[in-house]
């Protein structure tokens, strides 16, 4: 039986959640194009991990906020891979600042990378998938559901991604292109460890499942949504947060 070749592009895949997604997809039989902006060494490590799972991997350097970079990246995918079946928009940055003190240049950097970059990659992927179908998965955040103080630009970008996901799902459904959003909660990665001296100890007790998440938790949901098992699921935001952002503020202790 001839193997069906499945090609995925994961943006921002040099570390953290992006790397976990690349590995989970490789385990499910996907060949993976590994996008990175600056961290070539990290991206190469991700690609090596994909190949250790017996799949092909390509390194693609591109700043997703730059339309010329994005067009060039998708041209490379067409040339080297022949097409694309899955796009995972994972690349993202954030700024810790209050609304009153947020600098315009930081707002522009976050919105351009997180939201504009998602749009640019989604548009190119949709043109490539238009005649064959496919899946697009955007990485959101817990701030899709609740406000994150001092993450003003990040919250705005992720909220935009959720509605972009919905309108894209409606428009692209006729081409058999599914579009969904995966919204992680407190996930322990290199970046989030810098937020607290004890990230797991800070967020684990607040989470109903009593732990922080790992990249594999997010990656497994992405792999599911990319699979045929989710072929009738589109336009949805799935929270992978251990119940953290479904938990209401409640002044009384829950009794056994």
Q: Digits of tens for pLDDT over the chain (256 positions)?
A: 567 899 999 999 999 999 999 999 999 999 999 999 999 999 999 999 999 999 999 999 999 999 999 999 999 999 999 999 999 999 999 999 999 999 999 999 999 999 999 999 999 999 999 999 999 999 999 999 999 999 999 999 999 999 999 999 999 999 999 999 999 999 987 777 777 789 999 899 999 999 999 999 999 999 999 999 999 999 999 999 999 999 877 777 666 6
- Nearest CA to 19 out of 233, 163, 189 is that of 189
Cβ atoms < 10 Å from Cβ of 96: 14
Query: Could you give the CA distance from residue 23 to residue 60 in angstroms, rounded to a whole number?
Result: 16
Closest by CA to 183, choosing from 150, 158, 208, is 158
Q: At what angle do helices 152-172 and 117-129 cross, to 10 degrees?
A: 20
Known catalytic residue at 23 = no
Among the options 23, 36, 154, 252, which is catalytic?
154
Treating both helix axes as pointing N-terminal to C-terminal, what angle do 16-27 and 215-226 enclose, rounded to 10 degrees? 50
Helix (H) or strand (E) holding 180: strand 177-184
**Cβ atoms within 10 Å, residue 28:** 18
Residue 80, CA atoms < 13 Å, CB-side half-sphere: 17
Q: Which residues have a Cβ under 8 Å from the Cβ of 200 and sit 6 or more positions away?
A: 188, 211, 212
Residue matched to tokens 């692209």:
172
3 state DSSP class of 31: strand
Contact 50, 84 (CB under 8 A): no
d(CA 91, CA 66): 13
Q: Is the Cβ–Cβ distance between 113 and 131 less than 8 Å?
A: no
State the pLDDT at residue 162. Answer: 97
| d(C-alpha 142, C-alpha 162), whole Å | 11
């Amino acid at each position: 039986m001839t193997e069906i070749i499945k090609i995925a592009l994961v943006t921002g895949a040099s570390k953290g959640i992006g790397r976990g997604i690349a590995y989970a997809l490789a385990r499910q039989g996907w060949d993976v194009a590994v996008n990175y902006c600056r961290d070539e060494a990290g991206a190469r490590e991700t690609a090596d991990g994909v190949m250790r799972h017996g799949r092909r991997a390509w390194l693609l350097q591109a700043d997703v906020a730059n339309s010329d970079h994005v067009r060039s990246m998708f041209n490379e995918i067409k040339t080297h891979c022949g097409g694309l079946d899955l796009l995972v928009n994972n690349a993202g940055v954030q700024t810790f600042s209050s609304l009153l003190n947020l600098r315009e240049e930081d707002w522009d950097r976050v919105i351009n990378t997180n939201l504009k970059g998602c749009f640019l990659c989604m548009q190119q992927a949709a043109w490539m998938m238009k005649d064959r179908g496919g899946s697009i998965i955007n990485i959101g955040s817990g701030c899709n559901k609740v406000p994150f103080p001092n993450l003003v630009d990040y919250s705005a970008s992720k909220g935009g991604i959720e509605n972009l996901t919905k309108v894209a799902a409606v428009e692209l459904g006729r081409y058999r292109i599914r579009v969904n959003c995966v919204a992680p909660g407190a996930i322990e990665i290199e970046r989030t460890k810098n937020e607290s001296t004890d990230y797991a100890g800070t967020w684990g007790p607040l989470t109903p499942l009593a732990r922080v998440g790992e990249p594999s938790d997010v990656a497994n949901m992405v792999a599911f949504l990319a699979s045929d098992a989710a072929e009738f699921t589109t336009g949805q935001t799935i929270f992978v947060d251990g119940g953290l952002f479904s938990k209401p503020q409640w002044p009384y202790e829950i009794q056994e």
